Structure 1
Amino acid sequence: MAQLAPAPKPIGIFNQFIAQKTETLVLKEKVLSLTGDSFHIKLADGTPVFQVEGKVMSISGRKTFRDMQGNHMFDICKEHFHLHTTFAIKDPSDNKIMEVKSKFQVFGSKAVGTFTSSSGKAEELQMKGNFFDTTADITDEAQGGFVVARIDRKLLSGKDIFFGQQTYALQVAPGVDMALMAAMCICMDEKNNEGS
C-alpha cells in the first residue's frame, strides 16, 4: 500500500492515538467466538493497540473498545428506528461522541461519520466502498476529498474463510485518530454482515 499524505491538521478525539506516520492496523474478527465478536486490533508488525469486546446478547450489538491497558474508551452501538443503518459511538458515560450513518447507493456502500475533534471543529468524514466492499476510502470532503484512511479487506484468504473470520487492513494517514478510523471500519463490517 502506498503511504497516505499527512492531514493538514489533526483529525480526531483521542490525541494519544493520532497516527504520527502512516499506520496500518489489522482487524481480524473472530466471528465464531463464544464470547461475542471479541478481537484485538494490531499494527502491521503484530503489536496489539486496541481490544474490542462484543456483547453476546446485546440487541444493539454493543462492542466495547479498550486500549491495551484495559481503559474503556467507547462503545459502538447500533441505533434502531432510523431509516438508514446508524451506529452511535458513545463514551463510558454513554454520551454520543460520534455517529456513523449509512447512505443509500445503487452500487457500493457509503457512510458518513460525524463528530467534534478535540480541537472543537465539527468533522464529517465520508466512507465509500466498492460493490463487494473489499476496499473503502474514508475522506474529509471539507479538505477537498483528502483520504484520511483506506480500508482493504483481504478477501479469499483460505485460512480466514475456514475459520469464519474477516480480515481488514486499515491504513491511517498521519495526523488522524486511529481509534475512530477503526470504529468506522467496524461499523462498515457490521453493516455488511446485517444481511448474512
Structure 2
Amino acid sequence: MGGDIPPGPWAVPFSVAAMALHKPSLPQKLQPVNPPIGVYPEFAGENGATLILQERPFDFDGEDYIVRTTDGIDVLRCKNAGGSKGKKVITDPNGVPLITVKNKMLAISKSFIGEDPDGKEVLKVKKKFALGNAAEAVYLNTPTGTHSTVDLKGDFWVGAADLIVRSGPIIAQLSRRTGSLTGKGLKDGRETYLVSVAPGVDLALITAICICFEEAKDS
C-alpha cells in the first residue's frame, strides 16, 4: 500500500492580509468521517474523542507524553526510543509500537517523519514558509493505500488550531491550555493541549501529528 511519503514543494510566503484565511474555526461538534481515515483506522472511535496531551520532559517513568481522554482513559503512550534523542515511539496502552516519530534534516529546514513498526514512512510533518505558524502533514491513509494532506489552520503553539483534510472537513481541533487540569499524573506548568478528534479519525495519527508540532516548536 503506497510507498514513502513523496517530497512536496515548500510553500511560498503569503501576505498579512491572508492571515484571516488561517484563523481557526470556533469550537464545534466535529462531523463523522466515513469511511474511517488514518494509518490505524481501528483507533478511530465511532463517537470521536477529546484527548489531553501533556508533555512530561523531566519525569523518570519513561513516558514523554500523557495521552488520555478527558474521562481519564489512557488511549496511547509515548516514550523515547531507546535513549535516541529526537526519536519517540507512540504505542497502544499495552506498549505495542504504532508510530515512531523522528526528526529529519532537510537542506533548509527540519521536518518530522513517522514510521510504522516495519520502518515504512507513513507520516511527514513540516512547517511552511508562511506567517501564522502554518504547517502541513502528509500521511498514508491505510484503507485506501493513498497519501492525503492535512493542513494546520491557526496557531498550534499559542492558542488554537484546526486540522483540516485538504479540500475536506475539519478532523480535529486543538487548544493550548495554560490553566490547571486535574487528573492522575497531570501537572501544572507543563505544555498541555486539548485535542478534539472527529468520529472516524485515527487517534494515533492525530497524536503523532500533534507531537511533531510540539517537537518542532522545541527545536
On whether the aligned pair clears a TM of 0.5, the verdict is: yes
Corresponding residue number in structure 2 for 1:105: 130
- Structure 1 residue 173 and structure 2 residue 202: aligned? no
Structure 2 gaps of 5+ residues are 1-26
Corresponding residue number in structure 1 for 2:18: none
SS in 2 for 1:28: strand
1:93-144: per-residue Cα shift (whole Å, max 9, x none)? 22211111111222x212111122122232111113328532111001222x
Change (3 A) 1:82 1:25: farther
CA contact 1:134–1:155 (8 Å) conserved in 2: no
Larger radius of gyration: 2
Aligned partners of 2:128, 2:73: CA distance in 1, in Å? 34
**TM-score, with structure 1 as normaliser:** 0.86
1:131-179: per-residue Cα shift (whole Å, max 9, x none)? 8532111001222xx11111111024499xx854111111101111111
Tell me the CA shift for residue 22 of structure 1.
2.6
Corresponding residue number in structure 2 for 1:42: 68
Segment of structure 1 superposing worse, 149-158 or 93-102: 149-158
Corresponding residue number in structure 1 for 2:55: 29
Corresponding residue number in structure 2 for 1:117: 141
**TM-score, with structure 2 as normaliser:** 0.77
What is the number of residues matched between the two proteins? Answer: 189
Change (3 A) 1:55 1:165: farther
Structure 2 counterpart of 1:85, which letter?
A: K
Structure 1 gaps of 5+ residues are none
Aligned partners of 1:29, 1:10: CA distance in 2, in Å? 28
1:60-111: per-residue Cα shift (whole Å, max 9, x none)? x0001110121111200010134233101011222211111111222x2121
Identity %, equivalent residues? 28
Runs of 4+ in structure 1 over 3 Å off: 34-37, 156-159
RMSD: 2.4
SS in 2 for 1:62: strand
